Structure formats: structure tokens, C-alpha cells
């Protein structure tokens, strides 16, 4: 059943969804479009035998352009929506942080490729962690990946809530017996319940096509903003302050999240026909994304100024037809993500169940656990409906480790006997810089989230 995922994997829009499918089976099976017999253990995977690694290396046939599209699709996601808000609150000087993080994450993607060069048997991000730091390294990296997926799903659900109530503005729903639930919450509950049955599917190809338009959705959002400015509906005449230093820690999490995709890059590397071009793929992909983020950030901030919404789609004029398309695209995307994001958890869960259980029982357990998890995510999203703070916290708490500190730490450990002094200093600096940015950003975004929650409950 997993052999059917190849086409959807190649086109998935957001880096989390790519992870969810790409980690389900090895790249050799993906490229051959066959049934996976590698017994991969979800995100953590299994260390491959030398013959299997050689077979996988031979089977990669992803071209340079295909790899660029894949990596760009992994990077562009929720972070794109928040770049205008981040620039407005950080000041136009914070664009240097946005661009600088793009350079840093390009480099850390490069060193991940070097880590894979040193051990061809490595198949996943967790494998690299184990090669560098043993079993503890695997457990730590897998834990951070799971946390990021969970927090990303919460952010997706918040985005679903915010955009859905905008699309269906004016709708009033009252449910007998639950008077405390507002219309917006009821609509979100209904939308999530509609997506809930997808968690019971083993064959994800029946829902994965919904995620194939991620890059298209990003272009629709960008075009919507450009058209709104070009045709005079909103004049881009707001001045952007130079720098708000006190806001930098919080917005750094939003910027970092925009570049978080590293934990699926090993899969992309293994699928390439010529892995030696992986660094060039990283440069082109991150450059394209950085240009998109920068252009959208300045355009959105100039158009809406201090009133810009943390999700740029919610700032666009609602009466425009293209705005409605962008809003519906943003609504449908989260609904298609739940089953795809849950895939790593589901595969790992099934692998850990006793072999004595029947296939039907395993499916029931998988679906039940997934349903409970999704309801927990829904409850959190409705309880903490503050997109910018949750996304910033995710970037500062988890993403900074996955896309900055971990790759540099892995590279230093695996290259220690031969690493040059300048390269060692550079990677130690990135570890220190990432750690400082992560700690300050986590504290700042957590404080803002708590203050917002207290303010909401006091009114």
C-alpha cells in the first residue's frame, strides 16, 4: 500500500508533509514504485545494511530540477504567511536576520550532505544523529522531530480556524447542549471531524493528492498580495520602522520556522541521481525561498503597516475573488495534512505492536490513537488560538535545533579527526548562535503567549 505514495511524495508542499510520507518508506522503494520491504521504523528508521544502502544509492534518479522543486516545496509553508508580520514588528532592519538565517540554513543543509557522504548507510536525520552520538543522539533527534510535527499540526489547526471563519464570516451555528462553544469553534470542530476518518487509512494515496498544490498555493498567496497592491485596492504607502530590538527574539522564531526542513533532506539526498549536486540544490532552493519571503515581507508590511495580520491572507480585502481562492487554499491545506503528518507516528506505532495482533486490530489501534491525538491537537488549537506565538515558539524551541545546532554538532563529531580549524570555529559559532537565538526566542515567545492568554481570560 505504501508503494502508491511516490507521486504524491515528489510534490508535497510543506516540509512536514514531505517528512510524513518520505519517512514511511525508503527512497529506493519510492523511486521503484514498489512495495516497501525495508521495514523502516517511522521517523527513526532502521540502519540499513551495506547492500541495501548501495541499492538505494543506485536507485536514486531525481534530477537537479526535481530536487530543487522538492526542497523548495518542503521549505515553503506556514512560515510564508507570517513574514510580513515579522518584518513589520521587527523593523526593516530585521530583513538581515531573515537573509542571514537563509545563508546559515543553506550551509547546515550542505553539512548534512557531508555527513551522509561520510556514512552512506545513513538514511535519515535520526540515523545521522545515531552515527554522531549513538543511541542517545537518535532518541534526541527523533524526539525533536516528533515535537515539531505535533506543534506544526497545532499551528495548522489554528490557521484552519482563522481562515475558515473568515471565509464563512456571517455564519451562525448554535449546537444544543454546548452553549459555550462559539460559532468559529464549532466550524473548526466540524472541519477537523471531516478530516478525522483519514487517520484510519493505511493507503494515504487517497488523500495525499490534496497536498500536491503547496507550491501553487504559495504562489496564489504571493500573486494575491501583488495584485492587491498593483490594482490599487490597498496602497503600499506605510513606512516600516528601522528596528525594534525588543521584538527580535520573538520574530526570530517565525523566521527560523520558515527555513525548517532539514530533517527530511537526507531523503532528498538519497533520491538524487547525482548527490554531489546536493549543495547546489540547497543554494538554489534556499535562495529562491529567501527571495520570496523577503519580497512578500516588504510588500505585505508596506501595504498594511501595523495592522498587518500574522497571516497575510487575513489582511487581504475579503471581497476580492483571488482573496477567496487564497483563503480556501489555506483552509484546505491543513485538512489534508493530518493523515500525512500522522504517518510517521502511525508507522512507528504499528512496528511496536505485537506481531500476534491481527492487521484489523492494528488498524483499530492506529486509528484510535490518531483520533485521540487529533482531538488533543484540536483542543490545544482552540484553547491557544494565537498563530504567531505558537509558530514563533515552535521555531525557537524546536526548529532552530533541527536546522542549525544539530547539523553543525553532527558534522563536528563525524569530522572531528579531519576538520579544519576555520570550519570548526564556524560550526561552533553556529551552535552557539543557534542556542542563544533559541533560548531568547523561546523565552520571549512563551512570555508573549502567556500574557496573551492571561489578557484573554481576564476580559
Give the Cα separation of 14 and 8 in Å (integer): 12
The set of cell numbers assigned to 292 is 520570496
- Mean pLDDT, contiguous 10-residue spans, the chain (459 residues): 38 42 42 44 42 49 85 83 95 96 97 92 90 94 91 90 83 67 80 81 58 68 84 80 93 94 88 92 95 94 92 87 82 74 74 82 85 90 92 95 96 92 96 96 95 84
pTM of the model: 0.81
Check if the beta carbon of residue 293 is closer than 8 Å to that of residue 83.
Answer: yes
Handedness of CA 8, 80, 63, 110 (dihedral sign): negative
Please report where in the chains the cell 541499492 appears, as a residue.
55
Contacts of 92 (CB under 8 A, 6+ apart): 240, 241, 242, 243, 298, 301
Distance of CA 448 to the CA centre of its chain: 22
Give the Cα separation of 213 and 219 in Å (integer): 10
Check if the beta carbon of residue 44 is closer than 8 Å to that of residue 348.
Answer: yes
Give the Cα separation of 225 and 234 in Å (integer): 10
Please report where in the chains the cell 519510492 appears, as a residue.
30
Residue whose C-alpha is closest to residue 434's, from 424, 426, 422 = 426
Residue whose C-alpha is closest to residue 388's, from 451, 435, 294 = 451
Give the Cα separation of 268 and 289 in Å (integer): 17
Residue 235: predicted pLDDT:
78
First to last CA, the chain: 51
Residue 402: predicted pLDDT:
95
Helices 95-118/278-304 angle, 10° precision: 160
Q: Which fold has domain 2-458?
A: Amino acid/polyamine transporter I (1.20.1740)
Q: Is 272 helix (H, G, I), strand (E, B) or coil?
A: strand
Check if the beta carbon of residue 391 is closer than 8 Å to that of residue 250.
Answer: no
Domain range annotation of the chain:
2-458
Contacts of 21 (CB under 8 A, 6+ apart): 5, 8, 9, 12, 204, 208, 340, 343
231-236 long-range contacts, CB within 8 A, separation 24+: 233/317, 233/320, 234/303, 234/304, 234/317, 235/303, 236/299, 236/302, 236/303
Please report where in the chains the cell 553532527 appears, as a residue.
410
Q: Is 62 helix (H, G, I), strand (E, B) or coil?
A: strand
Amino acid at each position: 500500500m505504501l508503494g502508491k505514495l511516490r507521486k504524491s511524495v515528489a510534490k508535497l508542499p510543506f516540509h512536514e508533509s514531505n517528512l510524513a510520507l518520505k519517512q514511511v518508506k525508503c527512497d529506493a522503494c519510492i523511486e521503484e514504485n514498489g512495495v516497501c520491504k525495508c521495514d523502516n521504523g517511522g521517523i527513526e528508521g532502521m540502519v540499513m545494511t551495506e547492500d541495501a544502502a548501495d541499492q538505494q544509492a543506485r536507485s536514486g534518479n531525481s534530477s537537479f530540477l526535481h530536487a530543487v522543486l522538492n526542497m523548495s516545496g518542503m521549505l515553503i509553508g506556514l512560515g510564508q504567511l507570517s513574514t510580513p508580520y515579522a518584518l513589520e514588528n521587527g523593523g526593516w532592519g530585521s530583513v538581515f536576520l531573515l537573509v542571514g538565517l537563509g545563508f546559515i540554513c543553506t550551509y547546515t543543509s550542505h553539512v548534512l550532505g557531508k555527513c551522509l557522504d561520510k556514512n552512506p548507510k545513513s538514511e535519515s536525520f535520526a540515523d545521522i544523529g545515531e552515527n554522531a552520538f549513538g543511541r542517545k543522539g537518535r532518541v534526541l533527534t527523533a524526539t525533536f522531530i516528533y515535537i515539531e510535527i505535533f506543534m506544526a499540526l497545532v499551528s495548522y489547526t489554528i490557521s484552519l480556524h482563522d481562515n475558515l471563519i473568515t471565509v464563512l464570516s456571517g455564519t451562525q451555528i448554535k449546537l444544543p447542549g454546548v452553549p459555550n462553544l462559539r460559532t468559529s469553534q464549532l466550524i473548526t470542530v466540524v472541519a477537523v471531524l471531516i478530516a478525522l476518518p483519514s487517520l484510519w487509512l493505511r493507503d494515504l494515496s487517497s488523500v495525499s493528492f490534496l497536498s500536491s498544490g503547496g507550491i501553487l498555493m504559495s504562489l496564489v498567496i504571493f500573486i494575491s498580495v501583488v495584485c492587491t497592491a498593483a490594482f490599487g485596492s490597498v496602497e503600499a504607502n506605510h513606512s516600516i520602522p528601522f528596528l525594534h530590538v525588543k521584538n527580535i527574539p520573538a520574530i526570530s522564531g517565525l523566521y527560523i520556522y520558515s527555513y525548517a526542513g532539514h530533517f527530511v533532506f537526507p531523503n532528498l539526498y538519497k533520491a538524487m541521481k547525482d548527490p554531489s549536486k546536493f549543495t547546489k540544490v540547497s543554494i538554489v532552493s534556499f535562495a529562491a525561498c529567501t527571495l520570496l519571503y523577503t519580497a512578500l515581507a516588504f510588500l505585505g508590511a508596506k501595504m498594511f503597516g501595523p495592522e498587518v495580520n500574522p497571516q497575510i491572507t487575513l489582511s487581504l480585502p475579503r471581497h476580492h475573488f483571488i482573496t477567496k481562492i487564497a483563503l480556501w487554499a489555506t483552509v484546505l491545506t491543513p485538512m489534508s495534512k493530518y493523515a500525512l503528518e500522522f504517518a510517521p507516528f502511525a508507522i512507528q506505532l504499528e512496528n511496536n505492536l505485537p506481531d500476534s495482533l491481527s492487521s484489523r486490530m492494528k488498524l483499530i489501534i492506529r486509528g484510535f490513537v490518531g483520533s485521540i491525538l487529533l482531538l488533543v491537537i484540536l483542543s490545544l488549537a482552540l484553547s491557544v488560538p494565537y498563530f504567531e506565538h505558537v509558530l514563533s515558539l515552535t521555531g525557537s524551541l524546536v526548529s532552530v535545533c533541527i536546522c542549525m545546532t544539530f547539523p553543525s554538532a553532527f558534522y563536528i563529531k563525524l569530522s572531528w579527526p579531519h576538520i579544519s580549524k576555520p570550519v570548526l570555529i564556524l560550526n561552533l559559532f553556529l551552535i552557539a548562535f543557534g542556542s542563544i537565538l533559541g533560548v531568547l526566542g523561546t523565552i520571549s515567545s512563551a512570555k508573549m503567549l502567556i500574557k496573551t492568554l492571561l489578557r484573554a481570560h481576564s476580559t
